Structure 1
Amino acid sequence: MSTPIRLYTQATPNGLKVSILLELLGLKYDVTPIDFSKNEQKEDWYLKLNPNGRIPTIVDTSTNTILAETAAIMQYLVDTYDKENKFSYKIGTPLYYKQLEVLYFQMAGVGPMQGQMGHFKRAAPEKIPYAIERYENETKRLYSVVEEYLNRNKANGPFLVGDHLSIADIAVFTWANFLERGGIDIKPWPLLENWIESIAKLPAVQVGLNVPKRD
């Protein structure tokens, strides 16, 4: 039996943000994996849902909502389904805006720079040392900023904002969780290392990291 929420996704840092949040919120949802090898994200049926041709996209028939862009999706999910602010902060409060600051920092900085680093290190048809060095150095700089966010907030626990896990943490976590696989040593950032470990061991996060399910 289908649920009102359908997630079109793949197991990338961006896709995992949404599956993890759905699991943390305890929401039932159906998954449609998007096959990059077949370029499904560029097919007409998918572009009608998401004109940018990227993942993830969410369709919630209970509210007639179709959304792409992970920051928008995550904000929608907590605004709609997290009324007790278990993974968010109350709209209009200082912590709400700090949450947005970190969320946008991830969207504008961490994701694009780390993504470019990964591309030039693993996928580019030729190795371009300048590009690899540029994006690797910027990725490291951005994670030193993440370390500083954790340092400034350490009195409240291992969270980027406030005193509990929020969409700000989730958005950065899925990218940080790929750092070592990208050849980046996280030992220089002890708060970051502890923060990654504390989030990764949460049962809902473990389930969300396995969406779409792999054989």
Structure 2
Amino acid sequence: MENTIAHDLMLLALKPSDGGRRQTASLSYAIPAVLLAELALGAALSLNGKQVTVSGQHDGQLPEALRRTLDAARQAGDRKPRVLVQKVRKGSDIGVLDDLVRAGQVRRSTRTVIGLFDSTKEIATNAHAVRQLADQTQHALRAGTTDQRTLVLAWGLRIARLEKQVLGDDYRQLRKQAERMCDAGALPDVVLEVLRGGLKAREAMESSASSTAVVASS
């Protein structure tokens, strides 16, 4: 299987020590945003004013994860980026993870805890390759890369709140470097709008959860 950017993001989101996924709630917004961004890189999506529309064009045979996302985007119709991310979000992270399991890049183990419930963990089968991916991403960003795949992955880490865990303590500096490259035109406008839509969708979720918590505690 040829990994999409979302598959690489999911691999980076797996805990290398004991399995499981970091920042599950945030990741569920990052994965669909990155899938949409990769579709946009392949000319399958375009901007129509402030809305994202399916253009009907793409480069050759799409990987399954991108095809699922394109179908969901087509069903959603023309939408503002934040709304489109929310529309295609359902099950997108699980779908990407299942792809990795079927491809043998992730192994899944389930065990019963204290005889009451099942605990499932997912662990990358090649932890060294995942560490290499993290190191390559970090070094590329530090060097001011204009590689579109790397920049979209960096955005995915930001939306998923995984920058510090993956990129290290200087992640803020690396984020600014990536932003400078994007501002200089390294990513098309439609790609940036979709990624910003993912960030806004995650922030809206967090704001809603915070408000709910305040009401519950009052």
TM-score range normalised by the length of the shorter chain? 0.3 to 0.5
| Higher relative contact order, structure no. (Cα contacts within 8 Å, ≥ 6 residues apart) | 2
Structure 1 or 2: more helix by fraction: 2
Q: TM-score, normalised by structure 2?
A: 0.33
Q: TM-score, normalised by structure 1?
A: 0.33
